[in-house]
Amino acid sequence: MTGPLAKVPAFSKATGSNGATAVPEPRGIAILSAYNPLYSLAGFLVGALVGLTGVGGGSLMTPLLVLLFGFHPATAVGTDLLYASVTKTAGTAVHGKRQTVDWKIVGGLAAVPHGVFRPADAPAAPCPRR
């Protein structure tokens, strides 16, 4: 097995104060013991606020991960970006399949960064006279 679970032993043994070995703990229980139910509660509350207000979830969840749960800021931002990219990709696929996307508008929006961040030596577009 590779990945973060590879370091979790199949059975973990704990010794008591008298030196006796406790009953072996299965791997699944060891993984669940690292789970913090406040993560789910925070996700539920952020989801409710997003649903009620329309505010982006990342603007709420990322500070919670850093301030409340003590995650490194780069980890919190990276986690949010990964989650957002997966959900937005799935949403795009669903809306594309339902034909509820105006791809001409999408193309126009995608061209905006090129117009804003164009090379300095590119000629400026002429301004229309009125």
Q: What is the pLDDT of residues 11-42, one digit of tens each?
A: 444 454 555 555 555 555 655 666 788 888 99
Confidence of residue 76 (pLDDT cuts 50, 70, 90): very high
Give the pTM.
0.52
75 pLDDT exceeds 80?
yes
Query: Could you tell me whether strands 25-26 and 11-12 are parallel, antiparallel, or unpaired per DSSP bridges?
Result: antiparallel
Q: What is the pLDDT of residues 47-57, one digit of tens each?
A: 899 888 888 88
4 pLDDT exceeds 50?
no
Considering only CA atoms, which of 34, 45, 17 is closest in space to residue 25? Answer: 34
> SS3 helix, strand, coil % of the chain, rounded to 5?
60, 5, 35
